[in-house]
Structure 1
Amino acid sequence: MRIAIVKETAPGEARVALVPEAVTKLVRSGHDVVYEPGAGQAAEFADAEYEQAGAQPRDDVLTDADVVCSVQPLPIDQIRRLPAGSTTISFLPVAQDLERVAALRDAKVSALALELVPRISRAQSMDALSSQALVSGYRCTVVGAGMLRKFFPLNMTAAGTVQPAEVVVLGAGVAGLQAIATAKRLGAVVRAYDVRAAAAEEIRSMGAKSIELELETLEGSGGYAREMTEDRAQRQRELLAPYIAAADLLITTAAVPGRQAPLLVTREMVEQMKEGSVVVDLAAESGGNVEGSVAGETVRVGRADVWGGSNVPSQMPSPASKLLAQNIVNLLGLMTGEEAALALDFDDEIVDGAFVTHDGVVRHAPTREALGEPEPQPAGEPVETPVSTGSTGEVETTSEEDPS
C-alpha cells in the first residue's frame, strides 16, 4: 500500500510522523512510501535521508494515499482531498475537535487516534502517549535545571559544602518517573507523590523518596488515577504544602488525555516557595496542575518562576520522532494483512479502541454521543428498508446487509 508522510503545518510542531529508519522498515515490508519535501527538516532529517531509505518525494501525497501518517491531525481542507477508504494515523484530540471528526466521517476516511491506543501489555510497543511522555519527562527536568540558579548535586569542596537541590515531582506516570530519574542522575534529592498506591514502589525504584500523605489511594482504569472529590483534593493540597514550600524545583506531570488536568498546586502554595525557586507545569496545555501557569510562557508567582509546558515533546523533535515512528510502524504491522495491504480487524481490541471513524461511521462511542449520532448497527445484521411496490402505493419491506 502507499503510505504518505506529510509536512506538519501546526504552529510549533517540529516532529515528523515517520523517520528514515522507519521508512526503511516499511519499504522492506513491501510498502510504497512517499513524502512531502521538507517533511523531516524541522526534526533534523534531510530529504536525502528519506530518498536513501526508499521513499519518493512528491508535492501532492494525499490524493492517492492508502495511509497518511502525521503527528497532528490533518487540516479539514486536506481531509477532503483524501480518497474515500483511505486511513489517517495521527494524534486526534476527539473531544476538542468534533468538526474534524465529522469531516473524516463525511469523507469516509478511517481515522486512528494515537492517544486512543489501549494501554495494555500487548500494545506497549504502539503506545505513543508513553513514548512521548518519556521525552516530556526528561525535557521538563532539563528545563527546570537550566532555570534553577544552583547546583543539582552535592558538592564538598575545600571552600565549603554546596547542598544538593531539593526536587519535588507530582505525578508518577511515564513522564513523572522519567523526571525523577533525570533529576536523580543530575544529583538532586528527589521526593515524589502520586495518588495511586502502586506508584510508591515505582518512585522508590527510581531512587527517590515517596511522599506518604496517608490519604485514600485513587486507582483508576488504564493506568490513570481515579478522579478525586474536591474535599480530598483540598486535603491533599494542605498536606503537600510543606513539601512544596521546601522545594527548589517543583515538577508537576499529572494529566489524563481528553480531560482537564487536576489542580494540584494553588497560587498560595507557590507563593510559599523560596526566592529563586522554579516550578515546571507539564500539564499547562490541558488546564494546568499549577494555578497561574500559562502554556508556552514563564510567569512570576510570588518568588518563583513558573514554566508552562507547550508541546514539550516537539522541543526534542529528533528523538521524539524516532520513538513515535516506531509506534506507528508497529501499529501498521498489526493492521497489515497479506500482500502488504491494510486489513482492519475490529475484533482486535487495539484496532477497535484506536479507530475514531471508519466507512462513514463514528466508531468511538463518546465522540459519537457528543455528535448526537445513534449507535451503528453491527455489520451483518439485516436492516429493513421500505420498498415501494409500484402503482398501488403499498409498501413492503426487504432485508439487506447494513453497509456499516
Structure 2
Amino acid sequence: MLIAVPAETQTHEKRVAATPETVGKLVAAGCTVVVEREAGHAARFPDAAYEKAGARLVDGFRACCADADLVLKVRAPSTVELKDIKSGTAVAALLSPFTNPLLKDYADAGLACFCMEMIPRISRAQSMDVLSSQANIAGYKAVLLAMEHYGRFMPMLMTAAGTVQPAKVLILGAGVAGLQAIATARRMGATVEVFDVRAAAKEQVQSLGARFVEVASDQDAEDSGGYAKEMDDDYKRRQSELVAEHVAKSDIIITTALIPGKPAPVLISEEMVKSMKPGSVIVDLAVEMGGNCPLSEMDQVVEKYGVMLVGVGNIPSLMATDASQLYARNMLNFIQPMLDAESGRLNIDMEDEVVAAALICRDGEFLKPQLLGAEVK
C-alpha cells in the first residue's frame, strides 16, 4: 500500500500530516510511504528524519501523489492538486465540510475522502479527534498572543513602587480551546471569568479556578455531539446584556464560540468594544468563520476604539511542530485500524461508526448530501 504525504500549499499552513514518528509506524505496518521533499520543513521535521524512518523522498505534488493509494494531508486538496490524484485514491484531511466548495468535485473525481473534522466524539475515537488536539493548541497560543499585545503585566505584582493588579481575562466559550485558555491564563496569574451557553461546562470551568458566568435558562444548549447549539432570541438578548456587563470590565477577551455549519455567533458588538478600557485586547479564535466580534479582521491585528483586535487565523500553524505531532498521531490512530495486513489495502468498513461518520464520498457517490445544502440525486 502506497501512502503519500505531500507538502501543504495553503497560505500560512506550516503543519504536515505525518511526522517521522508516524511514518516509521506506517512502514513497520507494511506500508510504503512517499514524502514530498521539505513537506515537514516548516514544522521542523527535516527530510533526513523521514528517510531514516523509512520514507522515500520525491520532488513535487504529482510525483508524491499520482500513484498513491492513500494521501494524508492537513488541508483539503485544491483544484490544482485534485488533478494529480487518481480515481480510487483515499484522502484523509481537514476538509472544511461546511465551507469547502470542492466537496462534490472530490466525489466526481472518484476519491474516497475522509473528513477528519467529522470524526464522532465518542470514547473510542478520542485518540483520533483532530479538532480537540488542534483546539488545545489554539487555546494555549491565544493567551500568548493576548500577552504579546497587552502592554501590562498578567499577574499581581507587589513592589516597592506599589501594587500592580492582575489582568482580568474573559473567555467566551468553554470548549477544548476555552478550557486550555483558562488553564494558561490562570498559570500566568490572571483572574479569569468564563461564559458558555452549556451549563455542563460550569464544573470544568470552576475546577480550573475560573468564575463561571451564566444566563439562567431551561433550554438544553448542547447538541448530541457535545457542541453548543444556537439558542432562541430571548436567550440571545439576555446573553448579550450579561456579556456586555463583563466585557466592559475585562482587560483581555478570548472568544472561541463556534456553531458547526453556521457563521460564528456575534458575542462582542461594536458598542461593547467601545466600552472597553484603552489598551484592552480581544483575541478572536472564531475569525475564520466570521468572528465573534464583527470588528475582527482575518489574519490581521487592528486597533479599534483603543482596543487591539487579534484576528489571526489558523493559530495551530503558529506552533507547527507540536500541532503536526498531535495531528499526525490522530491521523495514524484513525488509519491503522483500516490497514489490512493480508491484502495490503485499506479496508473501509462502513459498519464502523467512526469510518462511516468521517467518509464523505466514495466511488463517485457523495455520502453526506446535507453538506451540499441539497440532496444529491
The answer as to 2:303 corresponding to 1:303 is no
Structure 1 369/144 Cα, relative in aligned 2: closer, same or farther at 3 Å? Answer: closer
Equivalent runs, 1:80-229 vs 2, <5 Å = 80-98=83-101, 100-217=102-219, 218-229=221-232
Q: Distance in 1 between matches of 2:244 and 2:85?
A: 52
- State the shift of 1:182 in Å: 0.4
Structure 2 residue aligned with 1:335: 338
Higher RCO structure, 1 or 2 (CA under 8 Å, sep 6+): 2
* Deviation of the 1:365 alpha carbon: 3.1
Q: Does 2:356 correspond to 1:352?
A: yes
Please list every run of 5 or more consecutive structure 2 residues that lacks an aligned counterpart in the other structure.
Answer: none
Q: Residue 346 of structure 2 aligns to which amino acid in structure 1?
A: L
SS at match of 2:333: helix
* Deviation larger for 221-230 or 4-13: 221-230
Q: CA 1:353/1:320 → structure 2, altered by over 3 Å: closer, same or farther?
A: same
Say yes or no: does 1:245 pair with 2:244.
no
Letter of the 2:279 counterpart: G
* TM superposition shift of 1:12: 1.0
Q: 1:96: how far off? A: 2.3
Three-state SS of the structure 1 residue aligned to 2:253 is strand
Counterpart in the other structure of 2:74: 71
The SS at the match of 1:309 is coil
Matches of 1:200 and 1:284 in 2, distance apart? 25
Unaligned 5+ runs, structure 1: 375-404
Residue identity opposite 1:362 in structure 2: F
State the AA in 1 paired with 2:360: V
> 3-state SS of the aligned residue for 2:194?
strand
1:153 alignment partner AA = P
Shift of 1:369: 5.2
Task: Tell whether the 8 Å contact from 1:20 to 1:49 is kept in structure 2 after alignment.
Answer: yes
Mapping of 1:279-294 within 5 angstroms?
Answer: 279-294=282-297
Q: Which moved further from structure 2: 226-235 or 50-59?
A: 226-235
Q: Equivalent residue for 1:44? A: 44
Q: Which has the larger radius of gyration?
A: 1
RMSD (Å) for aligned C-alpha atoms = 1.4
User: What SS does the aligned partner of 1:151 have?
Assistant: coil
Change (3 A) 1:265 1:215: farther
Alignment of 1:8-23 (within 5 A): 8-23=8-23
Q: Which residue of 2 aligns with 1:313?
A: 316
Counterpart residue number, 1:394:
none
Is it true that 1:56 corresponds to 2:56 in the alignment?
Answer: yes
Distance 1:242 1:373 in 2: 47
Q: CA deviation at 1:368?
A: 5.2
CA shift, 1:44, in A, is 1.1
Would the aligned equivalents of 1:281 and 1:290 in 2 still touch at CA under 8 Å?
A: yes
Q: CA deviation at 1:226?
A: 1.8
Corresponding residue SS for 1:305? strand
Provide TM-score, normalisation by structure 2: 0.95
Q: Determine helix, strand or coil for the equivalent of 1:270.
A: helix
Q: What is the match of residue 398 of structure 1? A: none
Confirm or deny: 8 A CA contact 2:43 2:324 kept in the other structure: yes
SS of match in other structure, 2:171: strand
